[in-house]
Amino acid sequence: MRRRRHVREQPRHEGPRINDQIRASRVVVIDESGQRLGEFLGPDAVQFARDRGLDLIEVSPESSPPICKIADHGRLKYERQKKRRAARSRASQPQMKEIKLRPKTGDHDLGVKIRRAREFLERGDRVKVAVWFRGREHAHHDIGTQQCLRIADAVDDVASIDTRPHMQGRRMYMVLAPS
């Protein structure tokens, strides 16, 4: 039985090649201000970038000869990461926020809940209003419905009722969606 030789693959790295990873013999160099400096030999271009205290980054490896830019690689990586994070936060999906109250919740406390619901709705989130019932309060589901409708009336300029008030177990739910 013959033994197979294990051929080790080159590790794949994310992003552009920098400094000594650039394999091309000749490269076109662009400086940090965007000016084209001309064609350089690979090692000379790397040394030129190091003399300026920066890195040589391969921008367009497919072109002939490849185009490289002199820049700070760490800073470039940081800015890319920052852009990615900002794009992800802009693309965030609307969430369902819940506001809990009781049939006996007072007017002032209800005003606070309405203000929070308005903030959520203006941000683009849906709001679930939950009225919790205990004991003898179950005999007065109409009070819970009134609480839900008071909130809906207070925020009707920024929201519409998505799901009308309905009971699920010991709680009454209503869903408001931004209009």
- Could you say which of 56, 88, 120 is where a domain stops? 88
Bond into 65 cis (ω within 30)? yes
For residues 76 and 103, state if they share a domain.
Answer: no
- Could you say which of 45, 63, 88 is where a domain stops? 88
pLDDT of res. 12: 60
Length of the chain: 179
Task: State the CATH number of the domain containing residue 65.
Answer: 3.10.20.80
The model's pTM is: 0.50
For residues 114 and 149, state if they share a domain.
Answer: yes
- Which range has the worst mean pLDDT, 1-15, 66-80, 152-166? 1-15
Gap between the Cα atoms of 160 and 99, Å rounded: 16
| Domain containing residue 161 | 96-178
pLDDT of res. 7: 62
Number of structural domains (the chain) is: 2
For residues 165 and 145, state if they share a domain.
Answer: yes
The string of pLDDT tens digits covering residues 107-152 is: 999 999 999 999 999 988 999 999 999 999 999 999 999 999 999 9
For residues 125 and 173, state if they share a domain.
Answer: yes
pLDDT of res. 167: 93
In what helix (H) or strand (E) does residue 159 lie, and over which residues does it extend?
strand 159-168
Distances (CA, A) of 164 to 5, 31, 102: 70, 63, 17
Helix (H, G, I), strand (E, B), or coil: what is residue 168? strand
- Could you say which of 40, 56, 88 is where a domain stops? 88
